[in-house]
Structure 1
């Protein structure tokens, strides 16, 4: 059996930037162990799989995401990449795409200038003392951190963008936390805020651009900066740009996408 596969760089307008995601449309689910094996073989931070739902369903597709280590409950860049494939390769001609996911309903719509807007849930982090392992792993970590129970991430806020760029956490110690990962953020010099994301719990030392963490970052920075529309940059080596807006208990996360390749996967 052969299955189509696409690779799209998300949150960037040019290939070799943003975050690459593999996208595999399916007619029906493959076994979980097969989807994890495909994600390992693709060796990208996420591979997205989706199947169509019945016409009378509240969503159009059921979407799932696998890292090379685990299935994750929410992923922004691979959702954006999946929407790009549907709009541009699979002939989807409606205004938006509705996905059912482990994190509830998600939607993606396309703007006239080619940006894709993710409609994602808002996550509220809980302030708490910074765990000792984070203090040991990240030089200059503050004494107060935030925990995000919805996706088991921690978040620390550093003084400025330079501190985020310079961060070199001990990945082995972060993995000992037993959670998904650590978000590091600060005010931006040419945007509202910047971030980086280290996710050893998901088998990823550093994720290039992470849409899902903006479900946490946008509410935090909207409150701190007193504004609902925010421009964000994830300042990994590849880097990415996100236009965000807080909308009640939802967050709009917009990005561009660059098509890289398509092909077929052959399974016995």
Structure 2
């Protein structure tokens, strides 16, 4: 079987930045074991599999080790592929998901805006094993949603964290660390070694928790954000009731075929 494959750098307008995602369009779902093996072979943070569903699309996301419930950058990459190659010029793209409900992506010129569910966190304690794995001081505040979010005072503290990924993987936790930015409203990093992602370059789904926190703290619905991984990524964010808008650019890196 020959399957098309696209690799797209998401949340950036430059190659070799942002978060690379693989997108595999299908005519029918493959067995989960095969999709997982393809994701492992691609060895990117996420591989998205998309399937036409009438005028809309179904989407599933796999890390090299597991299927996950929600992914921002691979959804953005999928919308980019649909709008540029599969349904050229599409301005509104709707995805059905297994867990996260309907997701909408709107193309605004060369920027794509993701309409995702808000996932505000609740105040939480940070386990000692997590702090030890991060090699970080206790944060002034922490919140738990799908991910555990640690809030620091300065961007420099976020940039300085050097996790022990093997130890962090054993905690089973997915970790967001965040702080106010200098030339953006907030910065963040994201770690998920328990599902095969040591540090994710740019994590759209983490902003489902970041945006509600920072919108409330800063008292404004529109925010700019930067994920300060080595590759880095820029996001434009908006709080809208129980939803968040997460916008960014994307760039095509690779187009080819998979033989399975």
1:123 corresponds to 2:116: no
Matched, 1:142 2:136: no
Alignment of 1:85-100 (within 5 A): 85-100=81-96
CA distance in 1, matches of 2:31, 2:63: 15
What whole-Å deviation, never above 9, does each CA across 1:13-43 have from its counterpart, x for those lacking one?
0110000000000010000000000001001
Map 1:94-113 → 2, pairs under 5 A: 94-101=90-97, 102-112=99-109
Q: TM-score, normalised by structure 1?
A: 0.94
Contact 1:137/1:171, CA 8 A, preserved across alignment: yes
Q: How does 1:122-201 map to 2 (within 5 A)?
A: 122-138=118-134, 139-142=136-139, 144-148=141-145, 151=146, 153-179=147-173, 181-201=174-194
User: Paired residue for 2:61, among 37, 62, 65?
Assistant: 65
Q: What's the CA shift for 1:135?
A: 2.2
Provide runs of 4+ in structure 1 moved above 4 Å: none
2:222 maps to 229
1: CA distance between counterparts of 2:196 and 2:38? 15
Quote the residue 1:207 is aligned against.
200
SS of residue in 2 equivalent to 1:74: coil
Q: Give me the whole-angstrom Cα distance separating, in 2, the residues matched to 1:46 and 1:80.
A: 12
Alpha-carbon deviation of 1:250? 0.3
The residue matched to 1:35 in structure 2 has which SS? helix
Following TM superposition, by how much is the alpha carbon of 1:211 offset from its aligned partner in structure 2, in angstroms?
A: 0.6
Give the number of equivalent residue pairs. Answer: 258
Q: Is the 8 A contact 1:129 1:143 kept in 2?
A: no
Q: Structure 1 stretches of 5 or more lacking a match? A: none
Alpha-carbon spacing, 1:20–1:202, altered in 2? closer, same or farther (3 Å) = same
Provide the C-alpha distance between the structure 1 equivalents of 2:3 and 2:183, rounded to a whole number of angstroms.
42
CA displacement at 1:143 relative to structure 2: 6.3
After superposition, the Cα gap between the structure-2 partners of 1:15 and 1:23, relative to the gap in structure 1 and judged at 3 Å, is: same
In structure 2, stretches of 5+ residues that fail to align are none
